[in-house]
Amino acid sequence: MLSTTAIALLATLILAATSDARATYVQDKTPAFVCPAADIKTTKCLGPKDCLYPSPKTCNGYIQCSPADDSYLTGIIHEMPCPSGLLWNDNKKWCDWPENTTCGLVKSAGATEVDATKQGPTPGKYHG
């Protein structure tokens, strides 16, 4: 039979293991991006280009924030993918052809400039 001390020690170990696992889970789920409160409060995320931001994880998608409540002080993060073959263009706030991207990709030394008259996808078509 286990002594009271052994039972207390076992309970402490189980509690510590559970707490550590829970802390790790929360830490792993912590977003790398926080919706800017000033943008949410100013725009209420109502316009077609409001509250759209580059993803800190990938060029193949973007972050769309929505107000968490009627105070407009915090936002809910929605990770949105771009359609296949398109990358996020933060200047235009839509998914665009790779040569038009603003996703921090550096052109190689031999790359040519992109024709500024080339029409890309239209706003609203690729984000939701």
* Cα(30)–Cα(25) distance, integer angstroms: 9
Least confident of 9-13, 30-34, 41-45, 46-50: 9-13
Q: Which residue reads 């800017």 in tokens?
A: 36
Instruction: Evaluate whether residue 87 is within a structural domain.
Output: yes
Amino acid found at 21: A
pTM for this entry:
0.58
How remote is the C-alpha of 102 from its chain's centroid? 16
CB 86 within 8 A of CB 126: yes
Supply the pLDDT for residue 128. 40
Instruction: Evaluate whether residue 78 is within a structural domain.
Output: yes
Residue 16 has pLDDT above 70, yes or no: no
Instruction: Evaluate whether residue 123 is within a structural domain.
Output: no
Q: Which domain holds residue 78?
A: 37-100
Question: Percent of the chain, pLDDT > 70?
Answer: 56
Instruction: Evaluate whether residue 74 is within a structural domain.
Output: yes
Q: What is the CATH number of the domain that holds 86?
A: 2.170.140
* Cα(43)–Cα(65) distance, integer angstroms: 11
